[in-house]
Structure 1
Amino acid sequence: MFHIDENQKITFSKAIYYNFNPIKVKKPWRDATGGFGNYAPIQGWIQIFDTEGFYGGTFCSTGIVNNILPLILTGETKTYKEWYDYIYWKMRNFGFQSGQIVDLGQLDLIMLEIMSRRADKPLHRYLGATKDWAAAYKGGGSLLSDDEDLVGDMVRYVEEGYRTVKLKVGSDWGENMERDVRRVEKVRKAVGNDVEIAVDGNQVWNVGQAVMFADMVRPYNIAWYEEPVHSHDMNAIKEVKERTGMVISYGESMRNYYAFETYAEKGVGHLMPLVGRMSKMSDLMKIRQLSKDKGLRFSSGGTVWINAAFGALYDENELLENHEPMTEPIGDCLKVKPEEKNGRLYLPDIVGCPIRIDIPKLEKEGTLESMKCFYTEKNKNNFAVRAAY
């Protein structure tokens, strides 16, 4: 289910971009290959309006300001499909894995929200969802956490109602597998055998190392083995799958549907697109259908507060990633967001996207660094800032 009217006409009138000072995470964070440090990976928030006063908003980088706004704040009227296709091919020479193509994905999300607001519906209902919740798993497990903190977090996730948890592996840039195995063992003992445990290597190993680690953790019944080797080394991925027999998981580094077809061909057993990095939101549903057709596992990651709108379209066994170290500080920027309860995200009954940014709070706390307005030449003389929080 993904029902939209691609022929709806849109004339963009203005945009407001809010730039943030760095937003600290609750405690320093690190995965196997160095991400993401002391700060949440968001730079700002943008709202883009049509000439009827409807708008869409999302977290973004300045890329959408530099790459997208000059193309859409022209006063031209195009259909949703025409806008998307026009900009997609404008971005061609940057490459379809580029930051520019990700900026287009953010615009796609914004156009979907504009259309849902026109329909006076929550985004997930506009897209065709028949329920108001999304199932999720919870991830964390920073390599900077000691064993006690790690186990405590995983147990807490289970107590919160999550039946699948995920932790990072690849300690000391992949050289300390013994530490990783010890931590997996401790988590398994703490949460019991009825909870799924997934591990994420963040691409740190070569094939031989990845196979070695898989053999070491095999006794602990791993639900999936995420990104053990480079995400674009398709033959290495195929070899790891063939030599381990484990469910191998990939998708966060890819920007469009086509790459997931290759993953499926190479033996990836769990496809996991990331909402904030996809070039088109409807690709989520194409990847989901591909997973169903091939008998593969499917989940999607990204900012779970927004992702919940798409998760409401999924089945109960098709999970969102709730990556707590990132989602907590981002959630603190919001005054309205889905409710996290018993391993689900329950969406608020509001039109458009299921979140509302709290700009006054961010301004008061010093998180808001600046605000900048953009508008078409036609609207210049009549322009007034009316932020839609």
Structure 2
Amino acid sequence: MFRYNFDEKLSFRKAIYYEFDPIKLPKTFQDGTGGLGQFAPERGCIELHDSEGFVAHYLAIDKTFIHTILPLILTGESRSFNEWRNFLYWKVRNSGSQSEKAVCLGKMDTLMLDLLAQRKNMPLHRFLGAEKDWAKAYKGGGSILLDDSELVDDMQRYVSEGYTTVKFKVGSDNMERDLQRIDKVRTALGSDIEIAVDANQKWDVQTAVQFAELTESFNLAWLEEPIHANDMNGIKELKERGVKVPLAFGESMRINYEFEIYAEKGVDVLQPSVGRMTRIDDLIAIRNLSREKNLRFMSGGRVYLCALFGTLFNEDELIEFHEPISQPVCEYALNIPEERNGRFYLPTNIPGNAQRLNIEKLERDGLLKLKQYFYNN
């Protein structure tokens, strides 16, 4: 299995945590379960300083990371990448691999990789072995709250922007409405554009089978999480009952081993979410598993982070750009990948992870709440 392994020692001197009020979305966004709302989920970001004078950045850090990780790393101790991640793993192990504490480990991975890339004076994606500076994306959105004409307009706009795969939400309380929306989008986009839909785990197995059967004529690229993400035998039952629409799962899982089970149960599209992984190199392990098992591979999460690792994927291994949630945060960010014709292009002249939150803009807009310093003990 693919694993990052770097010998260079890392020691951490200081961290600065920026907490901000939620960034308002242009429109309230809702999936079929009533999830999300009026604001983007991001509430904080961090700068992590090492003993060599380099500074790593992460755009979406919460207080779980501050309370869990910083007391363990701001000690003056020096360890390699894998020594740090093994040390931290045993400190949070009892919280479980699906816990928020475990997710902090993946964020720490990314911060350490940022520092190591800066030391080599290389952009992070190139340091990780990327041979190109772009990632191919699909574009998602399609809130349940949109009326049908708004949904169609958005999907048509996505295609006009160069996207050949689009996704929107299903799982309203009226299945007939969901089906009509799929029909209208398919009619508007034609047969050459891939259309995927996301039910956000809304249904039981019987309802999912019914929905899948009724959508066969629309040639969906995939049906995302129609049932509970942990219902492995439910997924197996969907396949045994003849569901033909490709099934996609993964954004709720946080470790590679769960994806091995997904592949065994019959999932067709594996979808890890970058910001939720407990080990960031699990992305590559899952990509490799998909190739080995002849499954599709997609990478979800915030596009500004996704694109860093999407440079390591093939052109048919897409990253997600969830415009309604990601775009408002991107407007408060610096040096983010440039969206162009269905791809995201990374800057190549800045070492490490070039992306930063625009603290000055947050302050100007009255969103910055707190700037907190943490020092080596």
Task: Give me the TM-score of the superposition, normalised by structure 2.
Answer: 0.97
Which residue number in structure 2 is paired with residue 213 of structure 1?
A: 211
Which residue number in structure 1 is paired with residue 26 of structure 2?
A: 26
**Structure 2 segments unaligned to the other structure (5+ residues):** none
CA contact 1:2–1:127 (8 Å) conserved in 2: no
What one-letter code is carried by the residue in structure 2 that aligns with 1:268? V
Distance in 2 of aligned mates of 1:214 and 1:231: 17
3-state SS of paired residue (2:49): strand
What one-letter code is carried by the residue in structure 2 that aligns with 1:372? Q
Distance in 1 of aligned mates of 2:44 and 2:35: 19
Question: Which 4+ stretches in 1 moved above 3 angstroms?
Answer: 1-5
Which residue number in structure 2 is paired with residue 386 of structure 1?
A: none
Q: CA separation of 1:354/1:191 partners in 2, compared to 1, >3 Å: closer, same or farther?
A: farther
What one-letter code is carried by the residue in structure 1 that aligns with 2:251? E
Distance in 2 of aligned mates of 1:57 and 1:122: 13
3-state SS of paired residue (1:115): helix
3-state SS of paired residue (1:60): coil
Distance in 1 of aligned mates of 2:340 and 2:301: 19
Distance in 1 of aligned mates of 2:3 and 2:230: 32
Which residue number in structure 1 is paired with residue 315 of structure 2?
A: 316
Distance in 1 of aligned mates of 2:279 and 2:199: 27
Choose 349-358 or 244-253, whichever is displaced more: 349-358
Which residue number in structure 1 is paired with residue 70 of structure 2?
A: 69
What one-letter code is carried by the residue in structure 2 that aligns with 1:291? S
Say if 2:340 is the partner of 1:341: yes
Distance in 2 of aligned mates of 1:17 and 1:208: 47
Distance in 2 of aligned mates of 1:278 and 1:186: 36
Which residue number in structure 1 is paired with residue 294 of structure 2?
A: 295
Choose 328-337 or 121-130, whichever is displaced more: 328-337
Distance in 1 of aligned mates of 2:2 and 2:149: 43
**Structure 1 segments unaligned to the other structure (5+ residues):** 378-389
Alignment of 1:343-358 (within 5 A): 343-349=342-348, 350-358=350-358
Which residue number in structure 2 is paired with residue 101 of structure 1?
A: 102
Per-residue Cα deviation, 1:222-280 (whole angstroms, up to 9, x for no partner): 00010000000100011112321221000001111000000000000100000010011
Alignment of 1:281-292 (within 5 A): 281-292=280-291
Say if 2:185 is the partner of 1:187: yes
How far off is 1:22 after superposition? Answer: 1.1
Alignment of 1:167-246 (within 5 A): 167-172=168-173, 176-243=174-241, 244-246=243-245
CA contact 2:216–2:244 (8 Å) conserved in 1: no
Which residue number in structure 2 is paired with residue 363 of structure 1?
A: 363
CA contact 2:274–2:300 (8 Å) conserved in 1: yes
What one-letter code is carried by the residue in structure 2 that aligns with 1:217? T
3-state SS of paired residue (1:38): coil
CA contact 1:43–1:62 (8 Å) conserved in 2: no
Which residue number in structure 1 is paired with residue 305 of structure 2?
A: 306
CA contact 2:57–2:355 (8 Å) conserved in 1: no
RMSD between superposed Cα atoms in Å: 1.2
Q: Percent identity?
A: 53
Which residue number in structure 2 is paired with residue 49 of structure 1?
A: 49
What one-letter code is carried by the residue in structure 2 that aligns with 1:40? A
Choose 128-137 or 342-351, whichever is displaced more: 342-351
CA contact 2:103–2:254 (8 Å) conserved in 1: yes
CA contact 1:56–1:113 (8 Å) conserved in 2: yes
Distance in 1 of aligned mates of 2:363 and 2:105: 28
How far off is 1:2 after superposition? Answer: 7.5
Per-residue Cα deviation, 1:179-221 (whole angstroms, up to 9, x for no partner): 0000000000111110000010000000000011111111111
3-state SS of paired residue (2:27): strand
What one-letter code is carried by the residue in structure 1 that aligns with 2:206? G
Distance in 2 of aligned mates of 1:325 and 1:89: 37
CA contact 2:304–2:355 (8 Å) conserved in 1: yes
Distance in 2 of aligned mates of 1:271 and 1:306: 18
Distance in 1 of aligned mates of 2:14 and 2:2: 28
3-state SS of paired residue (1:30): coil
Per-residue Cα deviation, 1:146-177 (whole angstroms, up to 9, x for no partner): 101101000000000000000100013xxx10
Distance in 2 of aligned mates of 1:341 and 1:159: 11
Which residue number in structure 2 is paired with residue 385 of structure 1?
A: none
3-state SS of paired residue (1:254): coil
Distance in 2 of aligned mates of 1:28 and 1:348: 31
CA contact 1:3–1:128 (8 Å) conserved in 2: no
CA contact 1:200–1:227 (8 Å) conserved in 2: yes
3-state SS of paired residue (1:36): coil
Which residue number in structure 2 is paired with residue 12 of structure 1?
A: 12
Distance in 2 of aligned mates of 1:354 and 1:287: 25
What one-letter code is carried by the residue in structure 2 that aligns with 1:190? A
How far off is 1:335 after superposition? Answer: 2.3
Distance in 1 of aligned mates of 2:117 and 2:187: 46
Aligned length: 374
Which residue number in structure 2 is paired with residue 266 of structure 1?
A: 265
